[in-house]
Structure 1
Amino acid sequence: MLAALALVALGVPRIVDLAGQGSRARDVAYGADTLFVALLNAETGQRGYLLTGQEPYLRPYREAEAGIAEAMAAIAAMAEMRPEDDPLRPVLRSLLEVAAAKRAELASALRRYAEAGLEATRELVREGSGLRQMDEIRRLIGEIRAISDVASARAADAAEQRLTWGGLVVACLLALAFAAGLRGQRIGRARETAVAARTRAIVETAPLGIAMFDATLHLMIANHAFAEACGWSGSTPAGRTLTEVLPDHLAPALSAMARQALDHPGELVQADMDGAGPAHERRSWHGLARAVVGTGRARAVVLLLQDITARRDAEAERVLLIHELNHRVKNVIATVQGLATQSWDSADGDGELFLDLFGARLRSLARAHGLLTEAGWAGAALTDVLRVALAPWTGGTESALVVSGEDGKVPRLSPSQVLGLALVLHELATNATKYGALSVPEGRVTLDWAREAEGRIRLTWREQGGPAITEPPAHEGFGSFLIGRAFGSDTEPGEVSRDFTPEGLVAVFRFTPEEA
């Protein structure tokens, strides 16, 4: 019994320490990812402001700035807590240095813009220091992930080995000794009572669920952590079968593990399992089982349960975050490439015209991205999209472009619908300014929306008072290309019609918003 106490006293703290090491290694990788996301959001907001010159784009930058400070403080604390010879410590310090330089580069560009204007700021950005810093941050984060993964895996292996060869043996010894004590098979009752009390205290405070079942799978003992995992209330249901005392979401897996352990004495059996309930409330467990061998045959089986919910959630969140970042970056790159290609085709080799076209379209895209960034990329209201996309043409009190819509709840658009509609409206307004109703003082444009059956939205663009249209355009430009494909990637593709009346263009869009 004293040997068991010694093993528990030495083994359980070590297991807890190893689990802490693995958790801290994962926390470092998560902290580095958090810092990268904050820097990326700050750069997006700053670049949006530089492109548009509009003050609202600074809000995401400032919010991200606060996140950068918090993430850097957390990483600095992690670095100080690690031993001098820890391989993560110098990498974390390097990450902090490069992140600080990136913050300074973002702030410097904003100061240059305020002092010297856009052209001077462009020269600063073209130097490429910000790009090189982000590339170095990505490299350092990749190195941190690799080191953290190795450290976490080593800690997990060591903890599992300690559990396997120490924790299970200790639990078996403790459980058998306690059960034997209850049956009165020990001499020296006063001394045994004190030892049993200390043993029970150790088992009850262990950071694992521990239970012992006899060879017929009837419960002998279980600690508080095991009872909590199984949802027991009141006293431990000793004497009842394994399938009777375990909840439905744990019974099949643990029963199979217990029987396999009894069939193969000495073999460690383990498996992961998920609890019941909604995904965001579900708990996950790592179970281990090993049979206690008596005189030639298995006398009992010990089950251990470790709660791994936090680890699984953190890993799933990290994977989701990386996937979402990759998805957004790829979409932005593809969109910008398309804008550049179409702008070059429209410019017909004229460099100045290309810069004007591409810059205007890029600013429209930036405004839409800014709107989505403010909403956490959860979509945006239709009225907000119309306001942001048409801001350059609706700013004055005597604006020739009037936007209206139905009263009541405003429909909400998905991120892809926001970006598509913003670019389409930009092209419509630009063409109207060059060739249509907005090209003459007496011209007017109305844009209104209304709900139709089955939740669909009708958006009508109507030009009046502009140059007379004698016949439709002979070929499609980029605006026509966008309009004809608006909302074509929706689950329920939208409908687009264009009518070149003598009074001016009438374009009607019908589409299903995200909420429907």
Structure 2
Amino acid sequence: MFTVPGRSGRTSLALVAFAGAAILVAALVGVPAARERDSAVQRLHALRGTADDADMVVRLLRQATLEQAIPDPDAATHAAEVKTTQALLADALDRLAARAAAEPMLRPQVGAMVALAQSRRDDLARPGGGDPAARGRLVVAQGRANIHAARLAADELAGLAAQCEAAERATIEHQGDRIDLALMALAMALAALFGAAAIRQRAWRAGSGPLQQAATALDLARNDAPIGMGLLDRNLVFIAANPALAAMLGDPGGLTGRSIAEATPPAARGLLPVLRRALGGQGGDLVSGSRPEPVAGRTLEIPGLLPGAPSRHWFVGIRPIGLMSPYPAGLSITVVDMTDRLRAEAESAALMRELNHRVKNTFATVQSLAAQSLRGAEGDLGRFSDVFSGRLMALARSHDLQIAEGFQGADLADVAAAALQPFRARGQIAIDGVPAVTVRPGQAQALVMALHELGTNARRHGALSVPEGRVTLCWDHLPEADGIRLSWLERGGPILDGPPRRPGFGLRLLERALEHDLGAGAEVTLRFCRAGLSCEMRFQPIGAAALVPA
């Protein structure tokens, strides 16, 4: 416990005045900062999902083109599919328009996407004549150019949205620092008021010297404070320090009587420059004509206190003490360790973005699976239940796999095992491939769904429909060392007469959607040989440029 000898009525009055000034600073800084941060948070929430909605517009334009080019023979089903696609497209465009209204920078790209979507709807709405095949080729040709332009606009929109989000996050961080400064001012005001009360009660023990007077105020709240507080003299030697500051500086045994450079050299490298400026000197010497510079609140990166330890981020406030002479008698320092908070905020923001993206994609995928399964069931509810449940469980296995890997990609062997789990009970499937092949999350989901469709088809019509049938799934590096070749081969099943007369959802998935989902340059080849179905997929996984040929 620090004592203050001498009379100190004026010091008590000064502490009360200081507390009032600190409260005023907190009000002037904290309230506007809180309002601006809330506004930035709302703008950031409005911007999130822009890239996802832009991608959805491009996918829906592609889907609308395919539906018009290759219509379903059932006119009622085709009309329902077209109506659903148009409704989803309108909803996605409405969401983009709402974001553009809130952020003017996005308006040109959103306007371009709306114009492209309207142009595509107008092209598809024109009555067709002549040969249906020629009409389908014309629709696809026109749609390809329109979709390419929409893809470019979507990429530009995603880039602009990312820039806007970065600006809003910077605003939130800056205003958060100002709010922390306001809270710091309130804490200092509270300490000053307690100090003034203690000085008045112990006036007979009041001492002389501004450092001892400040030490009394600090002593009232220092032991239990969750932030580091200390006093240093003009030579940057600790007069007092609470346990929290001692723990931050890596010397829980005590700092009193030791210089900051001696007590904790790593932290001193980050703190000494601002401490010396606050004293009005450089390099430890007082400079004639220089003025003390209080540090109202600044975030500093402090090197790790132990070799190999990560750096820390401290929010530091420094004030001179005793300015009766040209230079202060010492400094008060307040430190808040912000490292864990900043890391938690970054992790939480990343998790929320990823969760939002995954949920939207999952809803869209489930909706598509339900629609396609219902169309393929041709009114048979029992068949619809079996088909849709199988596809839904495959999607669930894909999500389980990605969650286990933290949405950072998945090993191709694990993807194959998850996709074919329901079909391996009788030991008719052999899986073999080169190790350590990691695919992206989107590729993992696409492969699980594609392999599930191949397995379902094999169990109904192919090699898995008879006891003697066998299926081989293997993968290896392509000779040019820039990708992976994955092969599905069926043997021993019923003789095939060629492709099915009426392709179902699984065939459409393999022939039309899989190449897009596997990424740029992907190729998918289906062969309906008499001996059995084969499927070859070529694509680039994560780190494809570093692959070495087998």
Alignment of 1:128-207 (within 5 A): 160-167=184-191, 207=227
- Is residue 342 from structure 1 mapped to residue 372 from structure 2 by the alignment? yes
TM alignment of 1:252-331, pairs within 5 A: 269-276=296-303, 281-292=310-321, 294-295=323-324, 299=328, 300-331=330-361
Q: 2:398, 2:444 within 8 Å by CA — same for their partners in 1?
A: yes
Distance in 1 separating the partners of 2:394 and 2:300: 49
Q: Distance in 1 between matches of 2:309 and 2:517?
A: 30
User: Which one of the candidate residues 522, 531, 534 is aligned to 1:506?
Assistant: 534
SS at match of 2:514: coil
Contact 1:435 1:467 in 2 (8 A): yes
Report matched runs for 1:70-149 at 5 Å: none
Is 1:396 equivalent to 2:422 in the alignment?
no
Alignment correspondent of 1:208:
228
Q: Which residue of 2 aligns with 1:480?
A: 507
Whether the 8 Å contact between 2:458 and 2:465 is mirrored in structure 1 is yes
* Partner Cα distance (1:301, 1:438) in 2: 81
* Cα root mean square deviation, aligned: 5.5
Asked if 2 retains the 8 angstrom alpha-carbon contact of 1:171 and 1:210, the reply is no
Where in structure 2 are the equivalents of 1:362-441 lying within 5 Å?
Answer: 362-373=392-403, 379-397=409-427, 401-406=428-433, 409-439=435-465
Shift of 1:270: 0.9
Per-residue deviation at 1:478? 2.3
Change (3 A) 1:281 1:334: farther
Question: CA offset at residue 156 of structure 1?
Answer: 6.9
Aligned in 2, Cα 1:390/1:225: closer, same or farther, shift over 3 Å?
Answer: closer
Q: CA deviation at 1:375?
A: 5.5
Contiguous gaps of at least 5 residues in structure 1? 12-151, 175-183, 187-191
Measure, in 2, the Cα distance between the counterparts of 1:198 and 1:161. Answer: 15
Pick closer, same or farther for the CA change 1:157–1:376 going to 2, 3 Å.
same
Partners of 1:282 and 1:492 lie apart in 2 by 40
Pairing partner for 1:457 from 479, 484, 498: 484
Q: Is the 8 A contact 2:463 2:490 kept in 1?
A: yes
Q: Which residue of 2 aligns with 1:116?
A: none
Contact 2:525–2:537 (CA under 8 A) maintained in structure 1: yes
- Provide the rounded CA distance (Å) in 1 between the counterparts of 2:431 and 2:357: 34
Structure 1 window deviating more from structure 2 (424-433 vs 250-259): it is: 250-259
2:103 counterpart residue number: none
CA deviations 1:348-386 (Å, max 9, x no partner) are 555444333222211222233344455565654433332
The 3-state SS of whatever aligns with 2:444 is helix
User: Which amino acid is the alignment partner of residue 285 of structure 1?
Assistant: W
Residues 251 and 339 of structure 1, relative CA distance in 2, 3 Å threshold:
farther
The question of whether the paired residues in 2 share the 8 Å contact of 1:405 and 1:449 is answered with yes
CA distance in 2, matches of 1:226, 1:491: 53
Secondary structure at the residue paired with 1:302? Answer: strand
Asked if the contact 1:258–1:289 (Cα under 8 Å) also holds between the matched residues in 2, the reply is no
Q: Return the offset for 1:395.
A: 0.7
1:109-129 C-alpha deviation (Å, 9 max, x unpaired): xxxxxxxxxxxxxxxxxxxxx
Q: CA deviation at 1:487?
A: 6.6
**Cα-to-partner distance string for 1:201-251 (whole Å, 9 max, x where unaligned):** 99799751424464xx9667574865765679998775989xx99644445
| Secondary structure, counterpart of 1:294 in structure 2 | coil
Would the alpha carbon gap of residues 406 and 162 (structure 1) be closer, same or farther in structure 2, given more than 3 Å must change? Answer: closer
How many residue pairs match? The answer is 353
Asked if structure 2 preserves the Cα contact closer than 8 Å seen for 1:372 and 1:415, the reply is yes
CA-CA distance at 1:333 after TM superposition: 1.4
Q: Which runs of 5+ in 2 are unaligned?
A: 20-175, 199-206, 282-288, 545-550
How far off its partner does 1:461 sit?
0.6
1:446 aligns to what?
A: 472
- What secondary structure, in the 3-state scheme, does the structure 1 residue paired with 2:319 have? strand
**Following TM superposition, by how much is the alpha carbon of 1:507 offset from its aligned partner in structure 2, in angstroms?**
0.9
**Inter-partner Cα distance in structure 1 for 2:311 and 2:441:** 29
- Residues 427-481 of structure 1, C-alpha deviation per residue, up to 9 Å, x if partnerless? 1122233443444565443222334464843321112344544544567542233
- Aligned 8 A contact 2:450 2:514 in 1: yes
Gap change, CA 1:507 and 1:250, over 3 Å in 2: farther
Q: Percent identity?
A: 32
> Is 1:361 equivalent to 2:388 in the alignment?
no
What is the alpha-carbon distance in structure 1 between the residues aligned to residue 319 and residue 363 of structure 2? 54
Aligned to 1:486, what secondary structure does the other structure show?
A: helix
Q: Contact between 1:237 and 1:245, CA under 8 Å: does it hold in 2?
A: no
Paired AA for residue 478 in structure 1: F
